[in-house]
Amino acid sequence: MSVLTADRLNEARRRFFDSDLWFSFTRSRITVLAAIVAAIVILSAVFAPWIAPYDPFDLSSIDLMDSQTPPVWLENGDSRFLLGTDDQGRDMLSAILHGSRISIWVGIASVIFSLVLGVGLGLLSGYAGGKVDAFIMRIAEIQLSFPAILIALLIDGVMRGILPPDMREQLAVLVLILAIGISGWVQYARTVRGSTMVEKNKEYVQAARLIGIHPMMIMLRHILPNAMGPILVIATIHLAVAIITEATLSFLGVGVPPTEPSLGTLIRIGNDFLFSGEWWITIFPGATLAILVLSVNLLGDWLRDAMNPKLR
């Protein structure tokens, strides 16, 4: 049994490394670079509690008198703080590591949430047509009538109203995921619906329908793969948007609690210090965010081209 499993694993591994996917990956230097960078950022975020020099969320360990210390290589730098400290005396490096952790978690979770919701509804809408389509698209319009930021504000506000005060802090991140996730599904749905409407009239789908394949099967096996290109474009960009929406929500004062800042909150706080010369408070988190989003996007670009059989 165990030998069999091991064999299978080896077989899978061999197949993966022999695949076109792996080949096209290794061929594109910029993609490899992006993957390495993304992996470093994501891994260091995941292991932040173990690799960060300090715990930036432990208020009793930070000292206000350490605040606004520049990075170690500048004049007045302090060897304890490699990238300097922020306006409260938090170690920037630790804050960035822990902040990325929150941002990445919020970003990925809300994109998955949007994607599943949007793709499902889009397929249903495009394939079923008629009343179902009209209903879903009207909901989409209602939602589109509000800027994503506002939807997030609304959900955040309603949650604040519903949740008891001492739960709010713990659930702040989940509320954000829900808020950003719900605010983003429409794009997927519109795009999938558009492709579905085109695809479903093509001969191969009609043929499949004629020979009695279940509509669900047709949608998943035949229509969805064809809509995958645009979905990936949107998903990669949406990951960036999700992280940035989180930052913008913080900019408007409703994000995560300021005592446990995300990457976006750090940028927002640092933003106030851009003119005054304490650039490290905003530039380091900003650069981390930009690098992370950039590499994720580059990976998305490559993935889209590589997974599209027509482009090979």
Taking residues 17 to 46 in sequence order and writing x for each that binds another protein by CB under 8 A, - otherwise, the string is -------------x----------------
Closer residue to another protein in complex, CB, 77/248: 248
Closer residue to another protein in complex, CB, 126/181: 126
Smallest gap, in angstroms, from Cβ of residue 57 to another protein? 10
Binding positions for another protein, 241-270, rule CB under 8 A: 241, 244, 247-248, 251, 253, 257-259, 264, 267-268
Tokens of 48: 């932040």
Closer residue to another protein in complex, CB, 120/129: 129
* 3-class SS letters over 5-43: HHHHHHHHHHHHHHCHHHHHHHHCHHHHHHHHHHHHHHH
Alpha-carbon 18 to chain mean position: 30
Half-sphere exposure of residue 295: CA atoms within 13 angstroms, side-chain side: 17
Per CB under 8 A, 229 contacts another protein:
yes
Binding positions for another protein, 72-131, rule CB under 8 A: 87-89, 129-130
Smallest gap, in angstroms, from Cβ of residue 62 to another protein? 6
Smallest gap, in angstroms, from Cβ of residue 222 to another protein? 16
Taking residues 155 to 184 in sequence order and writing x for each that binds another protein by CB under 8 A, - otherwise, the string is --xx-xx---xx-xx---------------
Per CB under 8 A, 278 contacts another protein:
yes
- By the 8 A CB rule, do 104 and 292 touch? yes
- By the 8 A CB rule, do 48 and 312 touch? no
Tokens of 281: 């408070």
